[in-house]
Structure 1
Amino acid sequence: MKDSILTAEVLEPYAQALLSLAQSQDLTDRFGEDVGAILASFNDSPDMRDFLASPIVNLDAKRSVLHQVFGEQVHPYMQNFLNLLVDRRRIGFLEGICRQYQTLLRKLKQTVLAEVTSAIDLNDDQKNTIRERVKSMTSANQVDIETRIDPDLIGGVIIKVGSQVIDASLRGQLRRISFRLGSST
Structure 2
Amino acid sequence: MSEPASIATGIAGRYASAVFDLAREENQMDALERDVDTLQQALAESGDLRDLIHSPIYSREQQQAAIGAVADKAGLSATMGNVLRLMASKRRLFVLPQMLTALRARIADEKGEITADVTTARPLSSEQSERLGRTLAEKLGHEVKINSAVDESLIGGLVVKVGSRMIDTSIRTKLAQLQNTMKEAR
Give the one of 113, 119, 139 matched to 1:137.
Answer: 139
Matched residue, 1:83: 85
When residues 179 and 127 of structure 1 are mapped into structure 2, their CA distance, relative to the original with a 3 A threshold, is same
- CA RMSD, 1 decimal: 1.7
Matched, 1:115 2:85: no
Secondary structure of residue in 1 paired with 2:119 = strand
Out of 170-179 and 123-132, give the one that drifted further: 170-179
Superposition deviation, residue 62 in structure 1? 1.5
Give the Cα–Cα distance (whole angstroms) in 2 for the partners of residues 51 and 87 of structure 1. 13
Give the Cα–Cα distance (whole angstroms) in 2 for the partners of residues 30 and 144 of structure 1. 17
Check the 8 A contact 2:60/2:90 in 1, yes or no.
no
Identical aligned pairs, as a percentage?
Answer: 27
Matched residue, 1:106: 108
Q: Which amino acid aligns with 1:24?
A: E
CA-to-partner distance for each residue in 1:11-31, whole Å, 9 max, x for gaps? 111111111001100111211
Superposition deviation, residue 94 in structure 1? 1.2
Matched, 1:166 2:133: no
Matched residue, 1:128: 130
Superposition deviation, residue 158 in structure 1? 0.7
Q: TM-score, normalised by structure 2?
A: 0.90
Secondary structure of residue in 2 paired with 1:71 = helix
Superposition deviation, residue 82 in structure 1? 0.8
Matched residue, 1:53: 54
- Gapped regions of structure 2 (runs ≥ 5): none
Secondary structure of residue in 1 paired with 2:27 = coil
Secondary structure of residue in 2 paired with 1:165 = strand
When residues 135 and 24 of structure 1 are mapped into structure 2, their CA distance, relative to the original with a 3 A threshold, is same
Superposition deviation, residue 5 in structure 1? 4.3
Give the Cα–Cα distance (whole angstroms) in 1 for the partners of residues 65 and 90 of structure 2. 16
Check the 8 A contact 2:159/2:168 in 1, yes or no.
yes
Q: TM-score, normalised by structure 1?
A: 0.90
Check the 8 A contact 2:68/2:84 in 1, yes or no.
no
- Gapped regions of structure 1 (runs ≥ 5): none
The 5 A counterparts of 1:36-75 are 36-72=37-73, 73-75=75-77
Q: How many residues align?
A: 183
Secondary structure of residue in 1 paired with 2:56 = coil
Matched residue, 2:157: 156
Give the Cα–Cα distance (whole angstroms) in 2 for the partners of residues 130 and 145 of structure 1. 9
Matched, 1:175 2:176: yes
Give the Cα–Cα distance (whole angstroms) in 1 for the partners of residues 134 and 7 of structure 2. 35
Matched residue, 1:25: 26
